[in-house]
């Protein structure tokens, strides 16, 4: 599975020549080169300049596609200037000659052209010559790229000396610069020259410092020697003086030894600092690569290397981020040609792959090969009958073949005399239908294994055939853009949507009422499955490659070359959510339960998304461009095929930890389990408070069938439930000066309104359920209200703003969050009992149920954990740090965990060890976390969705298991080329010992 570093090529082209450039890109990829192409068209801005500059700097050669359009393109000429400034190898490739009257850039005019004009040059004959041109003087060119990237990084780090070259690498760089004079094509950029000169200058300065120190020590040694000789001479006359001199010499020797030890310690410190700097650089690179499509494995390996070299919070943070999104690889068997299609047997025990190498293979669910069957050309599709009796394959060799599924022995060959492009079996398991290149659709009886009907459509090669769920009708798509509905074995034919280019896929809703056809005209077209009548046209900016329906028919998803996965409402055609890849998206699949969407394509990744929120939940990496994708019937695994012939199986069962999710019409703010564990409260921006029985959280999908517990006049914010589960407190903030806290008795329906002068910032209910404490914006008082009557009974004044507070469950204390401190207020003596120091505005604090722990937070992302069993509160027991703002806290007493909500994640912390152990990804800010009273469930809120997690299905990862867990999710180590790129000068080592 190890990646080999490829030669990097940047292709500059006009978007009007996209089809030619795509063909050129595929040819270079087939030749083992890796091209960077801006398919989407980045906006002309600072971000565009940064992205293009980085891509050109990382390339070994720069191809400029010459056409009448490209030589006039501002973008193309800007890219050419970047390449010239970086002294890149320029290779003009002529797609169409500019003609007279068109000015060419001098560099393009003076450089030999490679002609690839349509209908003039033979494309396949010229490509090898182009590749030879790219690879000429490759070692020097790649060194040029490496030095340019290092020099750029040095500049970006404000010329930090730790990024300079030294030792053999500096000598190699100087030899390389000397070799640049051996050919006109070898050009060193000013930045590279400056970088190498700076490296030599710094190296010489270090050498001078070392030589000077050595000279001082030598001189000191000579002086000591002369002094010793002199004392020896004097010792003849005076023995006592000799002994004194010897003592002085011994003292001087000891002093010299101490100086030597100090020098060695200084050297060790320097090496440690150098090591620390390298570790920080690896952590920074790991963070950068973590957001690059298809590079999550590289990012993880860099983070592991950083932890090995010098453990740090930055490296651990990147590694935990990555691990939260990485599934576990099961196996990666392979073909020798691209994978065209993947299916599974009905029982989910076997995987069937169809490949361009002319074979179809059957594998068990763990990737062990059962057998392969062979055709004489590409196998475009391979299916298993519902009774698992037959394996059926269709090939461009013009045949459909039946094989005994149990052992792969041949049973029947049907010669159709035309390439077979697609297959499908009806739900009744009685007929097989095949789409053919000669415009025919063939119907085959499965029981008889004989052709029973041929029908010619005369609308182009039939590339897609799909049975409707009733098994009597099929939808047919052609390469000329026609969609037809045909009742098999009859002449009954209906017209479907008319596309302007090839049909790539047709998806049918499970209830058989709706079809969605997608294709090269950049549209998805919705039509009625019974009549073919088009109801909606959904325009995309680029080709739409694939589509799939949800199990409940309510939505479908599309994959497009504009790098976007979209979810649409089936009835209205309205777009619901978008999810993004780094390049063309080729395939999508929906999990059997409809909770997850998987997608893959050109960015060498498989991404699994939450189908309701669009949150990226898992991100796996591929060795080639994703070309096929399927979930196993139980949804526990995802199988992907790529154009390099790999079949990769990933375990995604960690997704089963989420056991429910409820989507509300408006944003949800907080969710809280009641102390009895019978229901959960959710307040939403439609001014409602909802009470959801815990028994419904795994089945309820929306609040539409529920009645609000309370409706407010304004938006609500915070919620609290009394320990006896009778009262609910809610803060209702108003823009019209009518802010208030409301108390509601869930048994008697009694409701109290508690007016405030400003928006409420904190709520707390006493352990005996008798009192409610409140704080409000810019207010210096904590107000105490009697719950039964709703009357104000006391006010605790402070000399500064009080942000929030919490009652201690075991002591007569009220913890109050101020600025830079927390005051423990004794409610019996009405005095401050203790002060806990923490920098910042204390906006959130929580006690655990037993009152033994207090968690406090500030806006800088720090969480202090105070041990309340100790009398000394001068320092917290633990200090946790998470990325971004902390929105909510909750303790799990049975597990001794703390949950915190933040930007895109729920963090779980182990109070026994003081370490983070679990990170749960979300699509947006997590505004609330709440544990069930028995400690088995966790609820989290993000935007409009409340999610529920089974804690027994989450896998805690302590700090000392981080690397081991990461290696379990990887399929490879860095290869020697990658190691040299990232850690030039360091001896190669495998970071994960059991991986290639």
**Chain-wide mean pLDDT for the chain?**
90
The rounded distance, in Å, linking the Cα atoms of 10 and 798 is 64
Report, in this order, helix, strand and coil percent for the chain, each rounded to 5. Answer: 25, 40, 35
- The whole-number average pLDDT for the span 335-350 is 96
For residue 503, count other CB atoms closer than 10 A to its CB: 28
pLDDT at residue 219 tops 70? no
Cα–Cα separations (whole angstroms), residue 848 to 478, 764, 855, 932, 972: 64, 13, 8, 13, 43
The rounded distance, in Å, linking the Cα atoms of 305 and 283 is 8
**DSSP classification of residue 702:** B
The rounded distance, in Å, linking the Cα atoms of 662 and 107 is 61
pLDDT cut 90: percent of the chain above it: 69
On whether residue 265 sits in a domain, the answer given is yes
Residues counted in the chain = 996
On whether residue 958 sits in a domain, the answer given is no
Domain boundary among 72, 103, 136: 136
The rounded distance, in Å, linking the Cα atoms of 887 and 878 is 19
The rounded distance, in Å, linking the Cα atoms of 621 and 278 is 26
- Within 212-331, strands assigned E span 328-331
What is the tens place of the pLDDT at every residue in 800-843? 999 999 999 999 999 999 999 999 999 999 999 999 999 999 99
pLDDT cut 70: percent of the chain above it: 91
CATH number, domain with residue 120: 3.40.50.10140
Q: Is 554 exposed, middle or buried (0-12, 13-18, 19+ CB in 10 A)?
A: middle
- The whole-number average pLDDT for the span 90-100 is 86
Q: State the pLDDT at residue 262.
A: 75
pLDDT at residue 43 tops 60? no
pLDDT at residue 214 tops 70? no
Number of domains present in the structure of the chain = 2
pLDDT at residue 642 tops 60? yes
Cα–Cα separations (whole angstroms), residue 406 to 350, 371, 639, 958: 11, 10, 22, 45
Cα–Cα separations (whole angstroms), residue 957 to 154, 297, 883, 919, 952: 36, 18, 18, 9, 13
The residue behind tokens 């590079």 is 295
What is the tens place of the pLDDT at every residue in 645-670? 999 999 999 999 999 999 999 999 99
On whether residue 792 sits in a domain, the answer given is no
Q: State the pLDDT at residue 484.
A: 95
Q: State the pLDDT at residue 478.
A: 97
- The whole-number average pLDDT for the span 562-569 is 97
What is the tens place of the pLDDT at every residue in 124-146? 888 998 888 888 776 666 676 67
The candidate with the shortest Cα–Cα distance to 292, out of 10, 1, 604, is 604
355 in Cβ contact with 341 (< 8 Å): no
On whether residue 287 sits in a domain, the answer given is yes
Q: State the pLDDT at residue 643.
A: 96
What is the tens place of the pLDDT at every residue in 496-512? 999 999 999 999 999 99
Query: Phi/psi of residue 269, each to 5°?
Result: -65, -40
The rounded distance, in Å, linking the Cα atoms of 799 and 694 is 44
818 in Cβ contact with 800 (< 8 Å): yes
What is the tens place of the pLDDT at every residue in 769-810? 999 999 999 999 999 999 999 999 999 999 999 999 999 999
Q: State the pLDDT at residue 46.
A: 46
Cα–Cα separations (whole angstroms), residue 480 to 431, 439, 498, 840: 26, 10, 9, 66
Q: Using DSSP, state whether 210 is helix, strand or coil.
A: helix
Tell me the two tokens of residue 62: 């720069």
The rounded distance, in Å, linking the Cα atoms of 604 and 903 is 27
Confidence of residue 15 (pLDDT cuts 50, 70, 90): confident
939 in Cβ contact with 928 (< 8 Å): yes
On whether residue 318 sits in a domain, the answer given is yes
The structure's pTM equals: 0.75
Confidence of residue 882 (pLDDT cuts 50, 70, 90): confident
The residue behind tokens 């409140």 is 774
The rounded distance, in Å, linking the Cα atoms of 138 and 128 is 15
995 in Cβ contact with 970 (< 8 Å): yes
Q: Is 696 exposed, middle or buried (0-12, 13-18, 19+ CB in 10 A)?
A: middle
Q: State the pLDDT at residue 872.
A: 87
CA count, 13 A, side-chain hemisphere, 469: 13
Cα–Cα separations (whole angstroms), residue 320 to 334, 883, 965: 30, 12, 10
**DSSP secondary structure string for all residues of 648-697:** EEEE-GGGGGEEEEEE-SS-EEEEEE-TTSSEEEEEETTTEEEEEEGGGT
On whether residue 563 sits in a domain, the answer given is no
**DSSP secondary structure string for all residues of 16-59:** GGHHHHHHHHHHHHHTTEEEEE-SS---SSHHHHHHHHHHHHT-
Q: State the pLDDT at residue 859.
A: 76
More confident residue, 181 or 137: 137
Contacts (Cβ under 8 Å, ≥6 apart) of 928? 668, 669, 670, 671, 672, 887, 888, 901, 939, 940, 941
Q: Using DSSP, state whether 128 is helix, strand or coil.
A: helix
Q: State the pLDDT at residue 226.
A: 66
What is the tens place of the pLDDT at every residue in 370-429? 999 999 999 999 999 999 999 999 999 999 999 999 999 999 999 999 999 999 999 999
The rounded distance, in Å, linking the Cα atoms of 148 and 187 is 12
Tell me the two tokens of residue 789: 């009557």
Residues 126 and 16 in one domain: yes
Q: State the pLDDT at residue 101.
A: 65
Q: Are strands 89-94 and 114-115 parallel, antiparallel or unpaired?
A: parallel
What is the tens place of the pLDDT at every residue in 301-334? 999 999 999 999 999 999 999 999 999 999 999 9
Confidence of residue 640 (pLDDT cuts 50, 70, 90): very high
On whether residue 882 sits in a domain, the answer given is no
870 in Cβ contact with 854 (< 8 Å): no
More confident residue, 228 or 511: 511
pLDDT at residue 215 tops 60? no
Q: State the pLDDT at residue 3.
A: 47
Structural domain for 96, as ranges = 7-136
The residue behind tokens 């860099």 is 302
Query: Phi/psi of residue 453, each to 5°?
Result: -165, 140
The rounded distance, in Å, linking the Cα atoms of 662 and 670 is 13
- Chain centroid to Cα 978, Å, comes to 21
The rounded distance, in Å, linking the Cα atoms of 373 and 382 is 10
881 in Cβ contact with 840 (< 8 Å): no
On whether residue 31 sits in a domain, the answer given is yes
The rounded distance, in Å, linking the Cα atoms of 331 and 709 is 51
The rounded distance, in Å, linking the Cα atoms of 54 and 10 is 11
- The whole-number average pLDDT for the span 568-576 is 97
More confident residue, 352 or 703: 352
What is the tens place of the pLDDT at every residue in 446-482? 999 999 999 998 889 999 999 999 999 999 999 999 9
For residue 830, count other CB atoms closer than 10 A to its CB: 9
């Amino acid at each position: 599975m190890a990646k080999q570093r490829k030669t990097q090529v940047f292709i500059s082209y006009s978007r009007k020549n996209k089809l030619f450039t795509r063909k050129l890109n595929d040819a270079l990829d087939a030749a083992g080169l890796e091209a960077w192409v801006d398919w989407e068209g980045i906006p002309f801005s600072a971000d565009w300049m940064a992205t293009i500059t980085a891509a050109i700097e990382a390339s070994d050669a720069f191809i400029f596609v010459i056409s009448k359009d490209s030589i006039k393109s501002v973008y193309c000429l800007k890219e050419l200037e970047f390449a010239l400034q970086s002294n890149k190898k320029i290779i003009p490739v002529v797609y169409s000659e500019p003609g007279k009257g068109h000015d060419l850039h001098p560099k393009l005019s003076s450089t030999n052209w490679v002609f690839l004009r349509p209908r003039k040059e033979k494309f396949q004959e010229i490509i090898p010559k182009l590749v030879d041109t790219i690879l000429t003087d490759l070692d020097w060119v790649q060194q040029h790229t490496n030095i340019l990237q290092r020099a750029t990084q040095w500049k970006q780090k404000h010329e930090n000396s730790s990024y300079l070259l030294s030792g053999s690498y500096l000598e190699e760089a100087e030899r390389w610069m000397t070799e640049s004079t051996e050919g006109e094509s070898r050009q060193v950029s000013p930045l590279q020259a400056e970088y190498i000169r700076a490296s030599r200058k710094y190296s010489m300065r270090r050498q001078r410092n070392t030589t000077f120190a050595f000279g001082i020590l030598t001189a000191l040694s000579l002086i000591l020697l002369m002094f010793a000789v002199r004392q020896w001479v004097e010792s003849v006359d005076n023995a006592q003086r000799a002994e004194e001199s010897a003592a002085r010499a011994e003292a001087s020797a000891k002093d010299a030894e101490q100086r030597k030890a100090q020098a060695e310690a200084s050297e060790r410190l320097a090496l440690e600092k150098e090591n620390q700097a390298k570790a920080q650089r690896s952590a920074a690179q790991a963070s950068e690569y973590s957001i690059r499509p298809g590079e999550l494995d590289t990012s993880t390996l860099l983070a592991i290397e950083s932890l090995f070299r010098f453990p740090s919070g930055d490296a651990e943070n990147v590694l935990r981020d990555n691990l939260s999104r990485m599934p576990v690889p099961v196996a990666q068997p392979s073909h020798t040609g691209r994978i065209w299609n993947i299916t599974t047997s009905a029982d989910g025990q076997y995987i069937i792959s169809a490949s361009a190498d002319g074979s179809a293979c059957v594998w068990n669910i763990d990737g062990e090969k059962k057998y392969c069957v062979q055709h004489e050309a590409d196998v475009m599709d391979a299916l298993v009958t519902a009774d698992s009796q037959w394996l059926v394959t269709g090939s461009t060799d013009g045949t459909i073949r039946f094989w005994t599924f149990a052992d792969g022995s041949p049973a029947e060959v049907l010669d159709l005399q035309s390439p077979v492009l697609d297959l499908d079996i009806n739900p009744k398991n009685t007929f097989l239908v095949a789409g053919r290149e000669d415009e025919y659709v063939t119907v085959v009886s499965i029981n008889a294994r004989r052709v029973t009907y041929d029908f010619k459509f005369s609308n182009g090669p039939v590339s897609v055939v799909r049975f409707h769920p009733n098994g009597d009708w099929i939808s047919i798509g052609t390469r000329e853009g026609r969609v037809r509905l045909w009742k098999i074995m009859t002449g009954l034919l209906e017209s479907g949507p008319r596309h302007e280019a090839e049909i790539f896929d047709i998806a049918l809703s499970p209830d058989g009422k709706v079809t969605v056809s997608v294709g090269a005209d950049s549209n998805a077209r919705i039509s009625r499955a019974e009549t073919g009548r088009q109801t909606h046209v959904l325009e995309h900016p680029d080709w739409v490659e694939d589509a799939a329906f949800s199990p409940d028919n309510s939505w479908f998803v599309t994959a497009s070359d504009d790098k976007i996965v979209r979810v649409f409402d089936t009835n209205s055609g309205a777009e619901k959510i978008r999810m993004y890849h780094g390049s063309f998206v080729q395939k999508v699949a929906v999990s059997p339960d409809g909770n997850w969407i998987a997608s893959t394509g050109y960015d060498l990744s498989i991404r699994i998304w939450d189908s309701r929120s669009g949150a990226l939940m898992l991100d796996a990496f591929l060795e080639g461009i994703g070309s096929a994708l399927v979930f196993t019937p139980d949804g526990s695994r995802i199988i992907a095929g790529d154009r390099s012939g790999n079949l990769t199986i990933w375990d995604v069962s960690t997704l089963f930890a989420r056991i429910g999710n409820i989507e509300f019409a408006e944003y949800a703010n907080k969710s809280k389990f009641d102390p009895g564990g019978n229901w959960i409260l959710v307040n939403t921006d439609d001014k409602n408070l909802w009470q959801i029985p815990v028994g419904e959280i795994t089945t309820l999908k929306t609040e539409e069938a529920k009645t609000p517990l309370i409706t407010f006049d304004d938006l609500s914010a915070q919620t609290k439930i009394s320990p006896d589960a009778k009262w609910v407190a809610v803060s209702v903030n108003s823009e019209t000066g009518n802010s208030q806290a409301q108390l509601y008795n869930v048994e008697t329906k009694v409701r109290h309104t508690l007016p405030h002068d400003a928006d409420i910032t904190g709520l707390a209910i006493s352990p005996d359920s008798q009192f409610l404490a409140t704080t409000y914006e810019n207010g210096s008082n904590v107000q105490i209200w009697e719950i039964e009557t709703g009357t104000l009974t006391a006010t605790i004044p402070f000399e500064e703003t009080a942000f929030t507070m919490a009652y201690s469950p075991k002591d007569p204390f009220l913890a109050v969050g101020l600025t830079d401190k927390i005051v423990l207020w004794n409610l019996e003596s009405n005095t401050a009992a203790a002060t806990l120091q923490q920098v910042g505005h204390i906006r959130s604090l929580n006690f655990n149920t037993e009152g033994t722990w207090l968690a406090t937070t500030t806006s800088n992302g720090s969480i202090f954990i105070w041990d309340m069993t100790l009398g000394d509160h001068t320092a917290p027991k633990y200090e946790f740090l998470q990325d971004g703002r902390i929105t909510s806290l909750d303790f799990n007493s049975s597990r001794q965990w703390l949950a915190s909500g933040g930007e895109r994640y729920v963090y779980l912390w182990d109070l026994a060890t003081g370490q983070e152990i679990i990170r749960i990804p979300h699509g947006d800010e997590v505004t609330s976390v709440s544990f069930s009273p028995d400690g088995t469930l966790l609820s989290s809120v993000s935007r409009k969705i409340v999610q529920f997690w089974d804690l027994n299905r989450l896998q805690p990862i302590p700090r000392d298991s981080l690397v081991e867990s990461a290696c379990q999710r990887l399929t490879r180590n860095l290869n020697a080329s990658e190691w040299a790129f990232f850690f030039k000068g360091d001896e190669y080592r495998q970071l994960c010992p059991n991986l290639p």
